[in-house]
Amino acid sequence: MRPPRRTIALITTAVLSLALLAGCATADWTTPHEAPAALGVAGAGFFPSSPPSPEATVNPAAGSWDDVRPSAGMRVVLLTAGAEAPTTTLAAAVKEWADDEDVDLRTVVAGDNHIDAIVEAMDMKPDLIITVGNDIIDALATVTASHLDQNFLVLGAEVAEPTYNVTAVDWSGASFRGLGLVASSTFDPATFTPERSAAAVRAGVASVLLDQTGVVLWID
């Protein structure tokens, strides 16, 4: 016999409520969370022959990071500053990587106050903050040294005198270090290709997951 309409309505409401609660639980970063682990191993030439000193530049072999990926559910904030083509290309690469690797990604777009944007990202307590855009580098240099418990990955630029929680990925054409500071190479927007941007994301995340932090990865 078919259940009364009121019974069907009550069941439907209960199911929807449970679904909404499940969705909220998934999205709530305040719940207990296991730190992400590195799955896979780095290939030959990823690590230097001896442990790098702080702020050192490391030259990993091309593609040596390809087999390293995060465990599912890694919490990452993408912090973007500026709307220039290099920034949007890097941001797109981060989002594609997150989709491919089942990463829980949230985005903070920096407005005029870059320090406020960094604080907003840190308040989410992610496993990693990935930053793109030269505009935010000076603010990062101001904030990151006082928050050593938060890992940062800077793509296409670097922080002058980084602490061990700040890792960067650069190449010829991308090494901005802040206003008034000399970069390792001349800035060239044409070098921010989708392919190089994708490599930068994977190389940088692999280095963080494998505890090689506080260095600059040079991926020419």
Of the candidates 125, 73, 130, which has an alpha carbon nearest to the alpha carbon of residue 103?
73
CATH fold, domain 36-218, is Rossmann fold (3.40.50)
Start-to-end CA distance of the chain, whole Å, equals 71
Nearest to 65 by CA among 49, 48, 45, 50: 45
Q: Model confidence over 103-145: pLDDT tens digits?
A: 999 999 999 999 999 999 999 999 999 999 999 999 999 999 9
Kindly tell me if the per-residue pLDDT of 27 is higher than 70.
Answer: no
The pLDDT tens digits for 197-207 are 999 999 999 99
What pTM did the predictor assign? 0.87
Contact 165, 152 (CB under 8 A): yes
Residue 25 pLDDT > 60: no
Alpha-carbon Rg for the chain, nearest whole angstrom, is 20
Domain ranges of the chain: 36-218
